[in-house]
Amino acid sequence: MTAQTSRLILIVAAFVAGLLLCLSVILLVAQHGSLPLPQASAVGGPFKLVDQDGRSVTEQDVKGKPFLVFFGFTHCPDVCPTALFDISEVFRKLGPDADRAAALFITVDPERDTPEAMKSYLSSFDPPLRGLTGDAAAVDGVVKAYRAYAKKVPNPDGSYTMDHTALVYLMDKEGRFIAPFNLKRRPEDSAADLRRYF
C-alpha cells in the first residue's frame, strides 16, 4: 500500500465516521421529537382521589409497585374499554404476581363518573383495576401532573363526550414515569415487560 492510498483510506474512513455521527445525532433528535412527553421526570406526582369502593387513594398506596395509569371515562365508546380489557389481560397473565403491580384508571369525567358509576363499569373487568375519581379540582390536578389532556366536547343532542389522552403510563415503584406502556403486543409480553420493574 502506498502512502497515498493509505491517506486516501484514512480520509474516506474519517468521512464515513463523520457521516455516521451525523446520522446518529439526527436519529436521536428525531426520536426525541416524536416522544409524546417532554420530560420524563416531570410526569406524575402526588394525588388524592377516591376509588370505586369509596376509599381514599394517594400515590402512597401504589408505592413499592410498578403501576400503570390510564385516563378515560366510563361513557367512552371504544378506546377506554379496549385499553382496560388489554390491561386486565396483562394482569391475568401476571397470575399470582398480579398484586405486585397496580393499574389505575383515572376518570377525566368526574361529573358522571362517581365511585358508584366506576364500580359498576369496572365490574366487567378484572379486579386489579382501580377506578379513581374525585372532585373536579383533584382530577384536574392529576391530569396536569401527568401532562395529559382532557376536554369536554358537546354532542348535538345536548350530551357530551370527552377527548382525552389515550396513553398508558408505566410508572416505577417510586412513582416515576418510565415510558408509555405498549399494549399492542401479546399480553404475556406486556406482562413480562411489567415484571422487569417489580
Measured at CB, which residue is nearest to Ni ion? 76
CA 135 to chain centre: 22
Cα(174)–Cα(64) distance, integer angstroms: 6
Helices 187-195 and 79-94, packing angle to 10 deg: 60
Q: Judged by CB under 5 A, which stretch of 47-55, 64-72, 151-159, 185-193 contacts Ni ion? A: 64-72
Q: Would the CA dihedral through 16, 22, 23, 25 be positive or negative?
A: positive
According to CB under 5 A, which one of 57, 76, 108, 168 is a site residue for Ni ion?
76
Q: Judged by CB under 5 A, which stretch of 56-64, 70-78, 88-96, 104-112 contacts Ni ion? A: 70-78
> Does residue 191 interact with Ni ion by CB under 5 A?
no
| Interface map 79-98 toward Ni ion (x if CB under 5 A) | xx------------------
Helices (H), the chain: 3-34, 79-94, 115-122, 136-145, 187-195
Q: Which is nearer to Ni ion, 76 or 98 (CB)?
A: 76
**Other CB atoms closer than 10 Å to residue 179's CB: what's the count?**
14
- Smallest distance from Ni ion to CB 161, Å: 9
Residues within the interface to Ni ion (CB under 5 A): 72, 76, 79-80
